[in-house]
Amino acid sequence: QKEVEQNSGPLSVPEGAIASLNCTYSDRGSQSFFWYRQYSGKSPELIMSIYSNGDKEDGRFTAQLNKASQYVSLLIRDSQPSDSATYLCASTSGSARQLTFGSGTQLTVLP
Amino acid sequence: DGGITQSPKYLFRKEGQNVTLSCEQNLNHDAMYWYRQDPGQGLRLIYYSQIVNDFQKGDIAEGYSVSREKKESFPLTVTSAQKNPTAFYLCASSIIPNTYNEQFFGPGTRLTVL
């Protein structure tokens, strides 16, 4: 069974701090990794994709991938209360490149 | 506007009743997916389709059925055989061929069994 594991949290950080979200995956054949943000009662929104080892930055978001350690992380710099949401990590697996999702980490940014 | 639409937003089902959830996309995406999300859980794949008139079972297909008669439409039927259907149902789509399979989601349908 291919798995994606995340700390469920909740994770609380003060406004302006860096929030660090972590994810591990079991399928060494996974090629693509995604971070989705899900506000309460809403559908997931894709915020970051990463395919190669190293860092990928987009605005206040940085995704980090380490395939040797099977580890993906998301850093949110200068956290804002509007970043308060559940963050879902996902990876692709199989010939159909299906997504496997973690259970999500709930982030609260305190004003 | 391009996007994915799902209807209805809320749906109530009586015991023993089949219900159909609609999913339409105008993104010209080849692949479409149905997921189920339970409170505090990640998403679990029900069915997916990469081409018209073809679809594959996901991890939790029992009690569900789908059709893909048109590229833009992928309706999901929750049958009476699904014993615990109360959940948030999400439809997604992606471009194929695409090594990376970025999937984009519709707004979801919240199904409640009365």
The pLDDT value recorded for residue B16 is 86
State yes or no: pLDDT of B2 exceeds 70: no
- Give the residue with greater pLDDT, B97 vs B49: B49
**Is the CB of residue B88 less than 8 Å from the CB of residue B105?**
no
Laid out side by side, the sheet with B76-78 consists of B4-7, B19-25, B76-78, B64-66
> Contact A46/B100, CB-based, under 8 Å?
no
Q: Answer yes or no: is pLDDT of A81 > 70.
A: yes
Characterize the bridge pairing of strands B87-94 and A4-6.
unpaired
Q: Which of B85, B86, B91, B89 is nearest to B103 (CA)?
A: B91
More confident residue, B114 or B9: B9
Mean pLDDT taken over chain A: 93
- Report d(CA B55, CA A2) in Å as an integer: 21
Residue B18 Cα, gap to closest chain A Cα (Å):
24
Q: Which residues pair with A31 in a beta bridge?
A: none
Does any CB of chain B come closer than 8 Å to the CB of residue A96? yes
Tell me the nearest-neighbour CA distance from A31 into chain B, angstroms. 7
Is the model more confident about B86 or about B96?
B86
* Closest C-alpha among A104, A107, A89 to residue A25: A89
Question: What's the pLDDT band for B69 if we cut at 50, 70, 90?
Answer: very high
Asked whether residue B81 carries a pLDDT value surpassing 80, the answer given is yes
Contacts of A104 in chain B (CB under 8 A): 40-42
pLDDT tens-digit map of A24-42: 999 888 889 999 999 999 9
Q: Is the distance from CB of B101 to CB of A32 less than 8 angstroms?
A: yes
- State residue A9's pLDDT score: 82
Query: Given A4, A42, A96, which is nearest B50 (Cβ)?
Result: A96
pLDDT bucket at B61, cuts 50 / 70 / 90: very high
pLDDT tens by residue, A48-80: 999 999 999 999 999 999 999 999 999 999 999
Of B40, B98, B102, the CB nearest to A34: B102
Number of H-type helices and E-type strands within chain B = 0, 11
Q: What is the pLDDT of residue B114?
A: 85
Q: Identify all chain A residues contacting B44, using CB atoms and an 8 Å cutoff.
A: 101
* Per-residue model confidence (pLDDT) at position B97: 61
A43 touching B (Cβ < 8 Å): yes
Query: Is the pLDDT at A2 greater than 90, yes or no?
Result: no
Which residues of B sit within 8 Å Cβ distance of A?
Answer: 33, 40-45, 48, 50, 56, 58, 90, 98-108
Is A43 close to B101, i.e. CB distance below 8 A?
no
- pLDDT, greater one: A96 or A21: A21
What pLDDT, on the 0 to 100 scale, is given for residue B60? Answer: 95
| Cβ-Cβ contacts under 8 Å, A103 against chain B | 40-42
| Rg (alpha carbons) of chain B, rounded to whole number | 13
Please tell me the least confidently modeled range out of A2-16, B23-37, B62-76. A2-16
Closest CA to B88 of A23, A104, A41: A41
Query: Distance between CA A25 and CA B53 in Å, rounded?
Result: 33
Range with lowest mean pLDDT among A17-26, B89-98, B103-112: B89-98
Q: Measured between alpha carbons, how far is A13 from A20 in angstroms, rounded to an integer?
A: 9
